[in-house]
Structure 1
Amino acid sequence: MTQTAIPFVFMRGGTSRGPYFNRGDLPEDRDTLAEVLIAAVGSGHPLNIDGIGGGAAVTTKVAMLSRSDEDGIDIDYFFAQVSVEDRLVDFKPTCGNILSGVGPAAIEMGLVQPAGDQTEIRIRAVNTGAEVLARVQTPGGTLTYEGETAIAGVPGTAAPVALSFMGVVGSSTGAFLPSGHLRDEIDGVEVTCMDVAMPMVIARAADLGLTGYESAEALDADRDFFARMEAIRIEAGRRMGLGDVSKSVTPKFGLLAPARAGGTIATLYFMPWNAHPSMAVTGSQCLASCALTPGTVADGLLERPATGPAEIVLEHPSGTIDVLVDFEMSDGFTLRSAGLVRTARKLADGRIYVPGRIWAGPA
């Protein structure tokens, strides 16, 4: 059987991992594209044994890059979340961890040329329309992955990739509070439905019988909790104007609890059918915004800073993540921007092969 070879760069971006493709090397048709990504990742098996996925939602993510034709934007970043077992591809969300590898990958692919000791790359997240400024370390005009920056959930240190997110409010729904309320009650549980970088349903851990300090493994084993959470998430998705979200990874689900390790607030993040082992970049912005907004389910769980910018330290199962939030409170909470520092590393490059019966390659 003939196979089709597709060039790729295999990257760790933040606490996620996956193939980064040139969009021009993939099929334009969305249905065919989904089948190609399913084959590449190996979706349909818990170990992704017939592809390069890692058997977890954080290792079955895909980035597709192209030069942007939009003024002021260097790279268009199109994201796909491929399921581990269900042979599904969701093109609705974006991923901030994978985004942290977009700048380095664009340089690796020759889509961007390094400029000085630090190269600024303006990125448009195609899925949501958000704009991000990435600052990539290129000392002497050469891309480097070596550095002293450590992030929770990744061993060792690497070169920092600074990300500044703009225009993230209402990224998917068009509204900061897509249900129209600071709080909604669903199945007897108070939640805040918020859309900052990623639409989320956020509750207090205690209201769902949890401490908020559980490990990802312990949470994944609690299927009764997941059944209850999913029912709340599906109804919240309807109230947020997202329709039937039973087969979509958005909105994501998050839980809050008082900090216990010196951070601002303790958090748990769900993808949504598994617990995240650490924290999503997009989710961190939404959770930090919820924590800062008076009247949300975060009330009483932290001492809020009165003025911005403020560094919000989110505790999560693997450590902490710092979110620098620029906001004002003159007429309620208004988010200007959110910034984080992540790391990325190239793991491999070459060609990935998919069966020719799925796609024969570019015409």
Structure 2
Amino acid sequence: MGLKGHWYRGGTSKCWLFDARDVALHAPTREEIPALLSAAFGAADARQLDGVGGGTSTTSKAAVVWATPGGEADLDYLFAQVGIGDPTVELGSNCGNCATAIALFAVQSGIVPVRDGMTKVRMHHLTSGAVLTGTVPTPGGRIPKSGLARVPGSTAAGVPVNLSFHSPWGKSTGSVLPTGNVVDQLQVNGKTLTATMVDAGAPAVLLPAEEAGVDLSSMTDNLAAQLPTLIAARASAGLIMGLRKPEDPPQNAVPKVGVVAPAGDYIAADGTTITADSHDIRVRMLSMLSPHPAIGLTSAVAVALAASLPSSVVANAAGQPSTGAGSPRVVRIGTPAGVITADIISDDNGTVSEVALHRAARHIATADIDVAQPAELSA
């Protein structure tokens, strides 16, 4: 069967975007969408050889988009993290990099009419209820086909997209601090780990790198020795944050899990040296079951918001005061791909109301995907 798809790079991820009307031809209900995407990506094979998946967590992503003219947002979208060597598809998380691509897709496909100057795209994430805004430059009311913006972790330039995550937070758990505490203690594999668990952008558990046994002076290793501890921390945090019940199996996508350390010279994934004066904090996140090559944007939002909470794991590592009432603050996050910045904007009460990131997106291809026959979709 043929499924029309649009292939985009958003930030440091590649994402296949699908118009909901095309998806409905083969998957009329939301419950049928995971099987369709699994087959289209060839998810059951670790190489994803018979599908359009890229064989890594950052290139095995999809989103289904519904135009919602006249609604709260310009569009609804469902983000899917597609399995690799596993036919399952997780719909429980969000992806800011893919949302960056969706914003550009909405402008290029006519979902949102372009304006002279800048065109804003309001996007409603169906799973969490979060609303994001992607702002795309459209000088003279022209639809951009290419751009000169670059982001760490990619080489080709793209169209600049400013992506904003808006409060209220706590969309997945009901609170920005699901446990009610800025820090908690996790018992993991015989270790006691200090953890800050936040729900902003995405639910995330953030740990001191030193306690987790991770050396962030280099971000080139695969963390094989530390993965069991980090995966166990995710499973434990998922229970404590109310993201799953004891009888439910742990998820690989939520909560996000990462380690943080104070600024310091480090070796990036490409072998270059990132100096301590270029960033405020070093961060390494997991993506599914392996280290993220950069950082997911929803994770960056969680890190940025945690940085604004006094005495959090992130704030202690950054060694900086929290955002003052009504004042913006920039947090520079050192990642394996380089340094990204997050603008933290607070209201007059000092509550973080927006986190904005500067990204880039580019259209790669539009294709008719030859998906496995229906008899194979349930396999």
Both structures adopt the same fold (TM-score exceeding 0.5): yes
Displacement of 1:334: 2.2
Moved more, 296-305 or 169-178: 296-305
Contact 1:36 1:358 in 2 (8 A): no
Q: Deviations over 1:153-199 (max 9, x none)?
A: 01142221011211251021111111221111112111111111100
Contact 1:66 1:111 in 2 (8 A): no
Unaligned residue ranges in structure 2 (runs of 5+) = 265-274
Q: Which residue number in structure 2 is paired with residue 280 of structure 1?
A: 296
Alignment of 1:235-274 (within 5 A): 235-243=236-244, 244=248, 246-260=250-264, 261=275, 262-274=278-290
Alignment of 1:1-363 (within 5 A): 4-26=1-23, 27-68=27-68, 71-167=71-167, 169-187=169-187, 188-215=192-219, 218-220=221-223, 222=224, 224-243=225-244, 244=248, 246-260=250-264, 261=275, 262-306=278-322, 307=324, 308-327=327-346, 334-358=351-375
Distance in structure 1 (CA, Å) of the matches to 2:194 and 2:249: 19
Instruction: Give the 3-state SS of the residue equivalent to 1:134 in structure 2.
Output: strand
Moved more, 320-329 or 177-186: 320-329
Instruction: Give the 3-state SS of the residue equivalent to 1:171 in structure 2.
Output: coil
Displacement of 1:299: 4.6
Distance in structure 1 (CA, Å) of the matches to 2:131 and 2:32: 28
Contact 1:145 1:344 in 2 (8 A): no
Q: Which residue number in structure 1 is paired with residue 269 of structure 2?
A: none
Instruction: Give the 3-state SS of the residue equivalent to 1:38 in structure 2.
Output: helix
Q: Deviations over 1:204-248 (max 9, x none)?
A: 000011122442x5134x1x3111112221111101011135134
Displacement of 1:45: 1.8
RMSD (Å) for aligned C-alpha atoms = 2.0
Distance in structure 2 (CA, Å) of the matches to 1:315 and 1:145: 30
Distance in structure 2 (CA, Å) of the matches to 1:252 and 1:11: 23
Contact 1:36 1:359 in 2 (8 A): no
Q: Deviations over 1:22-79 (max 9, x none)?
A: 0121113334211110111111222211111111000010011111266341111211
Instruction: Specify whether residues 72 and 359 from structure 1 end up closer, same or farther in structure 2 by C-alpha distance, changes over 3 A only.
Output: farther
Instruction: Give the 3-state SS of the residue equivalent to 1:208 in structure 2.
Output: coil
**Identical positions, percent:** 28
TM-score, L = length of structure 1: 0.91
Unaligned residue ranges in structure 1 (runs of 5+) = none
Distance in structure 1 (CA, Å) of the matches to 2:261 and 2:80: 31
Question: Which one-letter code corresponds to 2:14 in the other structure?
Answer: R
Question: Which one-letter code corresponds to 2:333 in the other structure?
Answer: L
Contact 2:182 2:197 in 1 (8 A): yes
Displacement of 1:90: 0.6
Contact 1:254 1:287 in 2 (8 A): no
Instruction: Specify whether residues 28 and 214 from structure 1 end up closer, same or farther in structure 2 by C-alpha distance, changes over 3 A only.
Output: farther
Contact 1:21 1:63 in 2 (8 A): yes
Contact 1:146 1:158 in 2 (8 A): yes
Instruction: Give the 3-state SS of the residue equivalent to 2:203 in structure 1.
Output: strand
Instruction: Specify whether residues 137 and 177 from structure 1 end up closer, same or farther in structure 2 by C-alpha distance, changes over 3 A only.
Output: same
Q: Deviations over 1:3-22 (max 9, x none)?
A: x1111111111111021100
Distance in structure 1 (CA, Å) of the matches to 2:138 and 2:301: 27
Question: Which one-letter code corresponds to 1:104 in the other structure?
Answer: L
Question: Which one-letter code corresponds to 1:207 in the other structure?
Answer: E
Q: Deviations over 1:87-127 (max 9, x none)?
A: 11011111000000112212333322322232111111112
Contact 1:65 1:75 in 2 (8 A): yes
TM-score, L = length of structure 2: 0.88
Distance in structure 2 (CA, Å) of the matches to 1:134 and 1:245: 34
Q: Deviations over 1:133-159 (max 9, x none)?
A: 211122333322433322100114222
Instruction: Give the 3-state SS of the residue equivalent to 1:65 in structure 2.
Output: strand
Contact 1:119 1:138 in 2 (8 A): yes
Moved more, 131-140 or 258-267: 131-140
Contact 1:107 1:113 in 2 (8 A): yes
Question: Which one-letter code corresponds to 2:344 in the other structure?
Answer: V
Displacement of 1:289: 1.3
Contact 1:122 1:134 in 2 (8 A): yes
